[in-house]
Each structure stands twice: as C-alpha cells, then as structure tokens.
Amino acid sequence: MSASHKTALVIDDHPLLLEGVRQLFELDPGFRLVGAATTAQEGIRLARRHNPDIILLDLNMGRTRGLDVLKQLKSLRIDSLVIVLTVSNAPEDMMEALRRGADGYLLKDMEPEEILEKLHSAGDGQIVLNKTVSNILTRMMREEDRKPSVSDARLTQREQQILGLIAQGMSNKSIGNELDISDGTVKVHVKNLLRKVNAKSRLEAAVWAIEQGYGHRN
C-alpha cells in the first residue's frame, strides 16, 4: 500500500453501518480499512493489533457504553486518533466524550462525503467537529463557567503559541515543525497548558481556545 494511505478501524455494533462505512472507504483511495468490530472486546483487540491511524467509534454499543470503550482505547499504547461517530447529539455525551479524550465527534446524519472530508482532516492532525457539535460544546463550556480567563490561566508566551496552533487543528509534530522544537518539548508544553486551562483533552482545550479567540487564521 502507498504510504499516503491512512488505516482505519470501525467499532460499531450495527451491521448495516459497518457495511456502509466499508463501502465508503472502498471508494476513497486515501483510506484502507484494516478492521471492523461489532463488540468492544474485538475492537480493542484489533486496535492493539493494527494501531490504525483512525478509529471510528459508536457510542451505543449494546451493553457496553461507547464512552467506556473510548476510555479503554485511550489507555492503550497506540497512536490512533479516536473519532466518535454517533447518532447522539446529546450535550452530555459530547462533553463526556471530550473529557475522555476523543479526537473528534461526528454525527451519523452527515453526508458521506462530509464524513470522509472530516476523516482526512483528522488524519492530517486536525481536530474534527461538525458545526452543530462545535456550537453545543462551546455553549456548554460557557454555561459551566469552569474554565479560567486567558489572563487567569497565566499561560507562557510559548504555551499561548501552542494553544493557538492546537485550536487550528495542528498535531504535535506539525507544531514542532512550525516552532522548530521537538515533539517531546511540545508534549510537555501541551501537558502544562491543559492543566492551566483545566482541560482533560486537546479537543476540550481547542474548544476553549476558540471561544477565547485563539486559532483564527488570517
């Protein structure tokens, strides 16, 4: 396979959805589907085996909560991006997925072409949300009022630079290249700024940053 291919794993207990996603990936030469699982246990096994670039995860997995599967996936030593693909637009599900480390949250009622476009963006290191999800998350975080202001966060100049690049959807590697620092250094800064802005994940930090005016491209 060409190095440009991105590998993908789907975890969803709906056979029709799995078949639809399989056909979707077959139409796009930029992706290669390496596994499809209908149970959490099988999904985690395949994630460990293949370490795919992207994992698509449904939140409704029968007896197993998709949010619990998300937590397990994030505890594995894999580099996969975990994108939630679900019918649920419940704000509480979105916030919980965000806090458990989801790298994106997409709704199943999106057009297939839009889903592929978002997955390509995710594969390039960008955070992916559709407009509905982004608006809900931003509103909820504002209502909770649990985040500090920019001044109260006391971010260093470097942390502010990195936060702005995270808000633009850049990966650690891309940020390192942009700022001419190592991936390891970026990770240390990210860890510190997440603590300062009281965020559990990059996605949560990105939503907060955009609300604070970071990350706007000229």
Q: Which of 46-60, 94-108, 130-144, 151-165 has the lowest mean pLDDT?
A: 130-144
Contact by Cβ (8 Å): 23, 52: no
Axis crossing angle, helix 66-75 with helix 40-50, rounded to the nearest 10: 30
Residue 69's pLDDT band (cuts 50, 70, 90): very high
Asked if pLDDT for residue 7 goes beyond 90, the answer is yes
Model pLDDT, residue 172: 81
Tell whether pTM > 0.75: no
Model pLDDT, residue 200: 72
Which residues on adjacent β-strands are paired with residue 33? Answer: 8
Model pLDDT, residue 182: 92
Nearest to 58, CA basis, from 122, 16, 13: 13
Residue 138's pLDDT band (cuts 50, 70, 90): low
Contact by Cβ (8 Å): 97, 105: yes
Q: What angle do CA 92, 171, 86 make, to 5 degrees?
A: 30
Model pLDDT, residue 2: 42
User: What are the tens digits of pLDDT across the range 152-208?
Assistant: 778 899 999 999 888 877 878 889 999 999 988 998 999 899 888 887 777 778 877
Model pLDDT, residue 136: 73
Contact by Cβ (8 Å): 83, 105: yes
Structural domains in the chain, sorted by start? 6-139 (3.40.50.2300), 146-211 (1.10.10.10)
Mean pLDDT of the region 104-111: 88
Tokens in use for 98?
């965000």
Tokens in use for 18?
């799995």
Mean pLDDT of the region 119-147: 69
3-state secondary structure of 55: strand
